[in-house]
Every structure is written in structure tokens, then in C-alpha cells.
Structure 1
Amino acid sequence: MNQTAFPPLRVTDPAAFGRVAVLMGGSSSEREVSLDSGRNVLEALQSRGFDAHAVDGIPALVDALVHGRFDRVFNILHGNKGGGEDGVLQGLLQAFEVPCTGSGVLGSALTMDKIRTKQVWITAGLPTPKFLRLAPGADLRAAALELGLPVFVKPSSEGSSVGVARVVTEADIDAAIEVARGYGGEMLMEQMVVGDELTVGILGDVALPSIRIVPKGEWYDYNAKYIAEDTQYLCPGLDGADEDEIRKLALDAFVAAGCGGWGRVDVMRERAGGRLLLLEANTAPGMTSHSLVPKAARQLGVSFEELCWRILEQTV
């Protein structure tokens, strides 16, 4: 499979997939995004003739699996702590011998932890912004001054820009401290990169066209991702050799982190010099009306319904 076209579907009869659970909701901080994504995926699969059914959260799924109600799972749970991206769900389904979309235990668990993902990327020689690991109770003020402002402070194991604080001047540090207190776990402090924010979707062994994100506000926060209608998405985000480079980097990063199936890799491009720097990988990206993987797939002529089919097809 190359980076400009997809072969015909390998499985053309939806009945071959059996009864499909679309796992959504859960109890993580990203529940509402997951429900939105899940409803879209469920509708897309049902429109193509799949015997697909909504399941809200892991406990409900376990009950259904014990009674043998599903043959495979389309996982669209986001986040950890009741979500489906931290490897717990993947290990559970492995034990039940039920196929599931997305990465396995290793890739899911690793990439849910932004700090350790960066450590793997550094070991593999892949570029990422300078960062510090902040243990619970760490002196955030001292760390910010050590790393050098401006910085982002974010929970190591949350997604969807949940709990992210931006520290541009020392006056912003107190607000970031309050954000950190609200999460209690490890925090990632990362140097802010001045430049373009881009993302690259992954489907199988194909890196989809990059998307350059241009929010109306100063940065791409939760509101810009899921609510605002004035965020611009330019696809492809880069041209020529630069586009080839970012897609190769994203695929290399995805593989280095032990990921597979489908996902998304977020990248910054420095305004001065054009250097690409990896931010994080997402193993269960959103599938909402604002989500980025469907936007990139459409550039290759893949509709939302076909995208869902191709994601699920990888479990066969």
C-alpha cells in the first residue's frame, strides 16, 4: 500500500465481521468526545450493513463478552481511567480472544504516557521538544525557569487538550500550579514551539496527508478542537519534500512507539528553520465532525463510512 491510494477492500461482506461492539463513552475526562465519536462510527457502520451496536464503557462490554454477544470491537473510547487507550482494554480483549481496532497493549499503554513516549522517540533518534518530567508535588516554578519560558504544562496521561496550561511569563505560573494540583499525577512540562501545528493520520501502513491547524485564537485548545467553527484545517499541510518528510516522520514515530492499526501523530514545525518536532501519538483519535483523521482520509477519496470499514477490516 502506498501513500497516495488504497487497494480495494479485502472484505466486502459486512456479515463476515459478525456482531460488532462500538465501544464508546466510558468514565474518563473525554467521555463526551467519545460519545460523539461513537455515535458517528455506529451510524457509519450501520449504514453499510454491519450488525453494529453501541456499548457504553468497559464494564458493559465485559458483561456482553461473558455472554458471547460480540465477535469484535470497534474501540472509540478515549483517554485512560475508564477509557480505552491505556492498554487495559486491549489486554482484556486479548484475554477474551476478541479482535479490536487500533494498537495492542504495548502501543496503547506507552503512548497514553506522553513522557515515556518521548523517551522512546529520543532513544530512536526521533526529534521532540525539550521537556521535563514533573513528579507529583514538584516545584513547577523552578522547573519552568530551568527549562526556559514559554512552556506548556500538561498531564502526562490525558488527551484532547484536557488540563493543559500555557506559561508564557512568570505571572502564568500560579495558574499552571493550580491545574497541576487538579490532576495529582505526573505532569509533562514541554518547551513551547513557535511555528505551525500539524497532524498526520495513520491507517495501516499509510501516513495520510498532513493537516495544518490554524485556530482563530492563540492556540489549539479544547474549544478550538471540538466546539469552535472558525478553526482552519489546511490539507495537505505542507508541500513537496516537506510533506513527504512529515509523513515519513509520523509513520516512523508511530511504529517506534509500538502502535498499529490506525491513529494520529501530532507534530510542530518551527517557524525559524522548519524543523519538525514530535508532540504525541494518539491510538484512538476522535471521529467527530471536527476530527482530523476523517478530514485527511477524504483527501485520498476515502469517505467516513469507508474509513470506518477500513479501520474495522484490520481486525479480520
Structure 2
Amino acid sequence: MRGVRVGVLMGGWSAERPVSLVSGKACADAVRALGADVVEIDVDRNIAAVLKTASPDIALNALHGPWGEDGRIQSVLEIANIPYTHSGVLASALAMDKEKAKAVFATAGLDVPAGKLMSRRDAAREHPLEPPYVVKPNADGSSFGVFIVRKGENRPPEKLLDPDWRSGDEVLVEEFIAGRELTVAVMGDRALAVTEIRTGHEFYDYDAKYAAGGSVHHVNPSDLPALVHEKAMRDAVRAHQLLGCRGVTRTDFRYDPATNRLVVLEINTQPGMTSTSLAPEQAAHIGLSFNDLVKWMLEDASCPR
């Protein structure tokens, strides 16, 4: 990587800014260790001018959330003709819109939760589904604005009407899938491993994802049926390919042992790259160090001509 100038895009202005800054710092350190010239870019709305001045050979996109992984920053990079990591414009936009991604997956035969898209205000008036069900923003990440409505609860979450709500007006209301939380990272067209996530929280929320001790990860758990393990690996690659993703993605599942259902929840086109992140952990499990993973991401970077 010597002689290569890498712009590491981080920060931004979504609710996931703090996580992005940590991911970006870790990636920037790895790029330096690989011998490349690094420009750390805390992205703001002047990004086009900043990129013109910085003039990177490659952009390593460590942004998370809206604007950073929904196709918009990817469009800016394509206009500037800068090769960038992770998925392109269309795949990024589709993956961020959970309802549209679900429609693609369902058409191809993947099992997805039953549910519907509606405004958060309508979802707050009365139960839109028979509890238990899940309410989550249609286009946000890191489990912001996610609620599980249990049996016996009298009404939907009042927080859906919070005036400080920042996760868009459209929410997905979906059946609650009981069971185990699984995730699979895909690198190129290769599934890396199956990780089961266990947490003392109600679900794998923001704190469980990023706080020290918030969750425990079991890579390739021995008590997971072999057929379920194989299907999770296969379905993660299929989801990656169906949306036209590239680089590294991570697909989240719920597995219900009682019904033997393996349900695709969503795909993340820019998985976290923090010390507690799942994709680097799975890469390490197959013998790839963090620096190796970052090097592969840079070599995989591209830009349509």
C-alpha cells in the first residue's frame, strides 16, 4: 500500500456518528500500519470540496447510518471518480430501505418476517399487529428506535411520538421471531462464520452492540444444528448477491428452534469496525487479522467508470 493515499471517511451527522468515529479511527490506524498515506476526513455537508482538496486515491468508507451507507455518499464518490470500499449506490440504497430489501429477499425465497410499513404516528395509535411484534425505523441502523411490544402491553410505544425522534417517519412493524440471534459476515462472495449473539438486554440494542460487556459472541456455536449453520452461511451470501453488494456485509438472522425457522432480518452493507464488532471478529476466526481485512477492503475498492 505504499504510495497510496487513502481517505478514511468517518463521523458524519447521523445518530451513528460516535460509532463511525471509532470505526474510522481503527481503520485509519490499520491503513497507516499497511504503509499507506492516510487522510482522516470527518464528513460534513462540504464533503465534495473536501474530497477535491484531499484528492485520495481510494476512499475507505467508515460511515454508518443515513447519508453514509444509503447510497448518497457513494454517489458523491462516483461523481468525483474515487474508488471506494463496500457496496455501490443501488445496493446501499436498497439495503438501507429495510422494506425494499425484504421484498427482494422474499421474492427470491428467503424467509423474512411478516409485517408492514406504516407511519410512526399511525403505529403509535393502536396495536398494528397482535403482540408480540417489533417496531423499527425503516431506514436506520444500530438498533435506534427499535421496540419489542410484548403480549399483555396495552398500547404501542409512546416513544414513537417523541418530538426528538430522528429516525424518519416510516417504521416497519413485524412479527416477533422468538429464538436465537445469529449473524453472518460475507467478504466478497464468501461467508466467514456464524456468530450467535447473547445479551442480558431485552434484545441486541445499541448498548449491547457497543458497550463493554454488553453482549457475548459465540462464533460457530457447537450446539447450532449443522443444517442451520449451513443455511445461514448460504442465505447470507444469497442476500449479499441479491442486492448486488460488494466488499464486506453482515446479514442478521433469528433462528427459532421450536419451528426451525431461520429468518433474515436485514443486511448491513457497512458493518462496524470497532473492537467489539462482529465482522472483524469473524475474519479473525478464519485467520485474517484486522489489518488483513482492511487491506482486502482497500484492494476490493472500485468505482464505476
- When normalised by structure 2's length, the TM-score is 0.92
Secondary structure (helix, strand or coil) at the match of 2:23 reads helix
Q: Displacement, 1:101? A: 0.3
Q: Displacement, 1:162? A: 0.7
Q: Displacement, 1:273? A: 2.5
Task: Specify whether residues 68 and 173 from structure 1 end up closer, same or farther in structure 2 by C-alpha distance, changes over 3 A only.
Answer: closer
Contact preservation (8 Å) 2:124, 2:158 = no
Residue of structure 2 equivalent to 1:203: 187
Superposition pairs for residues 76-91 of structure 1, below 5 Å? 76-80=62-66, 83-91=67-75
1:164 to 137, 146, 154: 146
Secondary structure (helix, strand or coil) at the match of 2:174 reads strand
Residues in 2 aligned to 1:135 and 1:240: alpha-carbon distance in whole angstroms: 40
Letter in 1 for 2:190: V
Residues in 2 aligned to 1:58 and 1:38: alpha-carbon distance in whole angstroms: 15
Task: Specify whether residues 139 and 157 from structure 1 end up closer, same or farther in structure 2 by C-alpha distance, changes over 3 A only.
Answer: closer
1:311 to 282, 297, 301: 297
Question: Is 1:69 matched with 2:62?
Answer: no
Secondary structure (helix, strand or coil) at the match of 2:21 reads helix
Residues in 2 aligned to 1:314 and 1:217: alpha-carbon distance in whole angstroms: 36
Contact preservation (8 Å) 2:10, 2:62 = yes
Residue of structure 2 equivalent to 1:105: 89
Residues in 1 aligned to 2:163 and 2:112: alpha-carbon distance in whole angstroms: 22
Residue of structure 2 equivalent to 1:137: 121
Residue of structure 1 equivalent to 2:7: 21
Letter in 2 for 1:167: V
Letter in 2 for 1:117: A
Secondary structure (helix, strand or coil) at the match of 1:103 reads coil
- When normalised by structure 1's length, the TM-score is 0.89
Q: Displacement, 1:261? A: 1.4
2:220 to 206, 231, 236: 236
Secondary structure (helix, strand or coil) at the match of 1:244 reads helix
Question: Is 1:178 matched with 2:176?
Answer: no
Residues in 1 aligned to 2:278 and 2:123: alpha-carbon distance in whole angstroms: 36
Secondary structure (helix, strand or coil) at the match of 2:183 reads strand
Residues in 1 aligned to 2:272 and 2:184: alpha-carbon distance in whole angstroms: 13
Q: Displacement, 1:216? A: 1.9
Residue of structure 2 equivalent to 1:7: none
Aligned length: 298
Residues in 2 aligned to 1:117 and 1:299: alpha-carbon distance in whole angstroms: 28
Question: Is 1:152 matched with 2:138?
Answer: no
Secondary structure (helix, strand or coil) at the match of 1:267 reads strand
Contact preservation (8 Å) 1:246, 1:276 = yes
Residues in 2 aligned to 1:235 and 1:295: alpha-carbon distance in whole angstroms: 8
Residues in 1 aligned to 2:81 and 2:123: alpha-carbon distance in whole angstroms: 45
Contact preservation (8 Å) 1:22, 1:75 = yes
Letter in 2 for 1:245: K
**Structure 1 residues without counterparts, runs of 5 or longer:** 1-13
Task: Specify whether residues 55 and 69 from structure 1 end up closer, same or farther in structure 2 by C-alpha distance, changes over 3 A only.
Answer: same
Letter in 2 for 1:216: G
Residue of structure 2 equivalent to 1:5: none
Contact preservation (8 Å) 1:152, 1:167 = yes
Secondary structure (helix, strand or coil) at the match of 1:137 reads helix
Residue of structure 1 equivalent to 2:206: 222
Percent identical residues? 39
Q: Displacement, 1:58? A: 4.7
Q: Displacement, 1:247? A: 0.4
Question: Is 1:260 matched with 2:260?
Answer: no
